[in-house]
Amino acid sequence: MSLHLGLPPLRETIAAHGLSAKKSLGQNFLLDPNLLQKIARIPGAIDGQLAYEVGPGPGGLTRALLAEGAAVVAVERDDRCLPALEELADAAPEGRLTLIAGDALEVREAEVASGAHVVANLPYNIGTLLLTRWLEADWQPWWSSLTLMFQKEVAQRIVAEPGTSAYGRLSVLAQWRTLPRIALRLPAAAFVPPPKVDSAVVHIVPGAMPEGVNPATLSRLTAAAFGQRRKMLRASLKGLSGALDAVAACGIKPERRPETLEVAEFVAVAREIDR
Ligand code: SAM
C-alpha cells in the first residue's frame, strides 16, 4: 500500500486542518515518509497484526503503520487532529483504523489493543509514565512489543548498563524482564518544530518473568537504593525491612553503591526479601 493512501502529503494535511503544533501537548511532528516507514518497520513484519498508537497527531506514523499492513488503534487527545485522522480512516481499507478521541492515560489498553505492537512518537510529558505503566503490567503483558520515541537521555536510561551515570531505577524496571535496545537515533531537526534535545526510538519485547519475584518488592528495593544514589546499600536500605539480610544472603557487599549492582542482583535481592 502506498504511504499516502491517495491522501495529500502530510504538510498539506497539516496546513488544510490548521494543525499548528501545540507545546502543551508535546507536539513535535514527523513528516518524512522514509523516516516514518523506518519507525513502522522496527517491530518487524506487522502485516495483518494490530498496532496501538498513542498521539497520532496529523497521522504520519499512522499512515506508515497502515502501509505496512497493520490494523491500527490510535488514541489522540487533540480534537483538532480528528478530522485529518478521520480522512485517513476513510482512505484506509474498511475498519483498519480505529480512532479513540481522548487521553491515553485513561485507556484500558488490554480491552482495546490486546496483543498489539505499541508504536508511538510519544508526547514527552507522558512518555515515561506510560512506559512505566506498560512495564509494570501483568506478565505476559497485553502488548507484543513497544517501539517508543523518547528524549535521547531517557532512552539512554532505559538501556543503561551498571556502572554508568544513566543507570538507575528505570534501567532496572525496563531490563529485569525485557531486553530493551535503542533502534534508531534522531536529531532534533527531524521533527517539526524541532524539540530542544535529540531523540531515540527504543524497542522492547517482553521476556520471561523471573520466578519468585514480587514486582512490588523489586520496585520498593530500587526506590530505596536509588533514592540515595550516593550512599552505600548499608545506609540506603536500612529502612526497608529484610533488605540488608537479603543483600547478605545474596553475597552482595553492603558497602556497594546501587549503580554497581547488576539487574540480576537486584532481582536476586528482591526474591530473597520475600523468601
Ligand atoms: N505521531 C505524530 C508524529 O509522529 O508526527 C505526533 C507526535 S507528537 C510528539 C505527540 C502527539 O500526542 C500529539 O499529537 C499530541 O496531541 C498527542 N497527545 C499528547 N498528550 C496526549 C494524551 N494524554 N493522550 C493522547 N494523545 C496525546
Mean pLDDT of 135-144: 95
Mean pLDDT of 174-200: 97
204, 180 Cβ separation under 8 angstroms: yes
* pLDDT of 124: 85
pLDDT tens across 165-178, in order? 999 999 999 999 99
* pLDDT of 92: 96
Kindly indicate whether the domain formed by 215-274 is annotated with CATH number 1.10.8.100. Answer: yes
Report the alpha-carbon distance of residue 263 to residue 265 in Å, rounded. 5
Given a cut of 90, is residue 201 above it in pLDDT? yes
For 162, the grid coordinates are: 551498571
Position 47 confidence tier, pLDDT thresholds 50, 70, 90: very high
Mean pLDDT of 136-158: 97
Q: Are strands 29-30 and 50-54 parallel, antiparallel or unpaired?
A: unpaired
* pLDDT of 4: 64
**Cα 118–chain centre separation:** 8
Given a cut of 80, is residue 149 above it in pLDDT? yes
Position 1 confidence tier, pLDDT thresholds 50, 70, 90: low
10-206 has which fold?
Answer: Rossmann fold (3.40.50)
Q: Which residue minimizes the CA distance to atom 21 of ligand 1? A: 77
Tell me what percent of the residues of the chain surpass a pLDDT of 90. Answer: 94
* pLDDT of 125: 86
Which residue is it, cell 508535546?
Answer: 26
| Mutation choice for ligand 1 from 13, 25, 128, 192, CB with most ligand atoms inside 8 A | 25
Alpha-carbon distance values, 59 to 41, 62, 122, 155 (Å)? 16, 5, 13, 23
* pLDDT of 265: 98
Question: Is the Cβ atom of 236 under 6 angstroms away from ligand 1?
Answer: no
Question: Is the Cβ atom of 27 under 6 angstroms away from ligand 1?
Answer: yes
Mean pLDDT of 171-191: 97
Ligand-binding annotation for 55, yes or no, is: yes
Report the alpha-carbon distance of residue 125 to residue 28 in Å, rounded. 12
Q: Which residue minimizes the CA distance to atom 23 of ligand 1? A: 103
Q: Which atom of ligand 1 is nearest to the CA of 31?
A: 5
| 173 alpha carbon – ligand 1 mean position (Å) | 24
Report the alpha-carbon distance of residue 207 to residue 228 in Å, rounded. 29
Provide ipTM, 2 decimals. 0.99
Tell me what percent of the residues of the chain surpass a pLDDT of 70. Answer: 99
Report the chain's mean pLDDT, rounded to a whole number.
96
Domain boundaries, the chain: 10-206, 215-274
| 29 alpha carbon – ligand 1 mean position (Å) | 9
Position 161 confidence tier, pLDDT thresholds 50, 70, 90: very high
86, 16 Cβ separation under 8 angstroms: no
Q: What's the order of all strands across the beta sheet hosting 71-76?
A: 97-101, 71-76, 50-54, 117-120, 145-151, 199-204, 181-186
Q: pTM of the entire structure?
A: 0.96
Question: Is the Cβ atom of 26 under 6 angstroms away from ligand 1?
Answer: yes
* pLDDT of 22: 92
